[in-house]
Amino acid sequence: MKKIEFVKPVYNLKDIPKDELPAIVLCGRSNVGKSSFINSMFNTKIAQTSSSPGKTKSLNYYLIDGKFYIVDLPGFGFAKVSKQERDSWRHLIEEYFTVSASVKLALHFIDSRHEPMAPDIELNTFLRTKDIAYVVLLNKSDKLKQSELALAKKNIKKFFPETLMNENCFLYSSVKGTGKKEVARMLASLFQI
């Protein structure tokens, strides 16, 4: 995976690219580090990061090597936006999964410093109900000691028993590069890159 280009933000599902390329979808709570993940995976600053959660309000499409999209979804569970705005984002995300047949895999980002929260559990249930293949990324792993990382992994098994460690759960750090090779290998195998 070498080339990434920002294609466009999508606020309305009728504006989804029509070329039907497969998509890897990044989803998770606000401020969980999805934009930092994009930048670290591709050694770029193409995705805007912010210290204030809730900045991504659209489905952001990135084209990878002309072969597939990475779609960064709005983060959920952010309290400082109106309920109406949260409901609108949620509707957009749920509708996206319903109308888009191109989703190949969802990367469910969870902050490794915290147990999965209600919105994480809801998202996991939603992905399984819709029969969408997913991988859990325990992000910000650089902020934890070894014993805390072991607890974070244990929590994933406890909350999502069907998630198999090392097969569909990765520790990730945009700062230290932890998990970068493993995730790149997984994505490359999906698309025979």
Report the distance separating Cα 14 and Cα 6, nearest Å. Answer: 18
What structural domains and CATH numbers belong to the chain? 4-191 (3.40.50.300)
pTM: 0.87
Q: pLDDT for 80-121, tens place per residue?
A: 556 776 677 677 778 888 878 889 999 999 999 998 888 888
% of the chain with per-residue pLDDT over 70: 88
- What single-letter amino acid sits at 79? A
